[in-house]
Amino acid sequence: MDNIKFLDLISDYDKSIAGERPNYYEIIKKTHIKDGQMILFRTEDVISVAIAYDNGEVYVLYDWQGGYPSSIKEKDMYEWVMIANQFGPMF
């Protein structure tokens, strides 16, 4: 997933839950995983992680205020919400 599309999705999702958008979003690091990327990103308020699969599914953490996985191996220790391709599986 390209950076602009990813940041647009994050911005739209953030607005839908918070009612407004922070002034900026940036990608800190992308890590390639099987069939996608784990993306560490920052807004003016938080640092969080998303998982973007090559098929277009994008998941963010349920709680952006808490901790976040430092590797894909820790993925199952967190709750995720799908924000793109709403008909895919949840994990």
Q: What is the pLDDT of residues 20-60, one digit of tens each?
A: 777 788 999 999 999 999 999 998 878 899 999 988 889 99
Higher-confidence position of 54 and 2: 54
pTM for the predicted model, two decimal places: 0.82
pLDDT at 85: 64
Higher-confidence position of 49 and 11: 49
Predicted confidence band of residue 4 (pLDDT cuts 50, 70, 90)? confident
Return the SS3 of 68: coil
Annotated domain spans of the chain: 3-84
pLDDT at 12: 83
**Phi, psi for residue 10 in degrees, rounded to 5:** -65, -45
Whole-number Å distance between alpha carbons of 9 and 37: 15
